[in-house]
Structure 1
């Protein structure tokens, strides 16, 4: 499964590179004004654990809802993201999947006025819903998420939001290590 996720990450990265290159050839400056002032997106997220987390967990799957609101000329947005993530355990006896509910606040910035490439940073808390079942002594952990993505127009205020992201979670147990995941988010977005 890790190979499939990694292939998906590489494919998405190549897709973003081609899309950005194609848009960079365009002289259309209307993109900034075409971006909605308020955007809501819903979609799945998948990833692979990194570091010590990958020793006992194989992959992640979840989903999230995100609201973006323009602060400055539809190039800088504030956003709120909430979701659910399941980190699937390997076959270690007595080890359960890890289930998180991340809630994050952040900023999204479109550095180019003529295309929809963005960088985003978020921070918040991941609530561990099954902390007693996975031998954790904490019920919440700090999470931060840098992300790079592309907002693909589908027409009439609808978009596909495709992004590569890194989720960094603080320690789930005292004396443990951070728990990091690299993944993708592909969401259907629409203006409100």
Structure 2
């Protein structure tokens, strides 16, 4: 939990420094995201690789997500994200010779997204991941706290439409009480179609 707090504090501090530095310069209208005058919606595919101890039992992650970016200031958005992740078990998980059961999660997150440069953004989110097959994978908790720092770029494809490509690290607290090996941590790529609503 201490490392979670440290990472969260670093993301918030980085966002604050970026905002402070940006406030000292004039803002060009070209440094806006898709639909920056209104809500931006996106639907994406998520794929990732487990990290830490999880990588000994799981090969990769696949899923999808929906996200809404709500403008609150120039180049700053509040994000709301919900999705589905399925971590695919290895056939020789943790050297046991057994196949690990896929972990199925429903992550729900909220956070901030800031554009310090044209189409480039930094994003930090936190929330909860709900285990959809808790008993099958041996979890004693139905949910865990998650955090996800991310960087990305929005590629214009015409009008208010963009391809949003982001890379993130997503980490969790324990799904099994007092067992840090039950954390679900992974690096992921999100490739989404985003469009402004106004």
Q: What's the TM-score bracket when you normalise by the shorter of the two chains? A: 0.7 to 0.9
RMSD: 1.5
Match of 1:144 in 2: 147
Aligned to 1:180: 185
- The alignment status of 1:120 with 2:119, answered yes or no, reads no
Map 1:1-192 to 2 at 5 A: 29-32=28-31, 35-36=34-35, 37-73=38-74, 75-91=75-91, 92=93, 93=98, 95-112=100-117, 115-177=118-180, 178-192=183-197
Alpha-carbon separation, structure 1, partners of 2:58 and 2:163: 29
Distance change (3 Å), C-alpha of 1:35 and 1:158: closer
- Listed as ranges, the gaps of 5+ residues in structure 2 are 1-26
Give the total of aligned pairs.
Answer: 162
Runs of 4+ in structure 1 deviating by more than 4 angstroms, as ranges, are none
Unaligned runs of 5+ in 1: 1-27
Counterpart CA distance in 1 for 2:55 and 2:33 is 41
Aligned CA distance change for structure 1 residues 118 and 33 (closer, same or farther; 3 Å) = closer
CA shift for structure 1 position 33: 5.1
Mark the CA change 1:33 to 1:137 in structure 2 (over 3 Å): closer, same or farther.
closer
Residue 38 of structure 1: how far off its partner (Å)? 1.1
Contact 2:58 2:100 (8 Å CA) reproduced: no
Matches of 1:34 and 1:51, distance apart in 2: 34
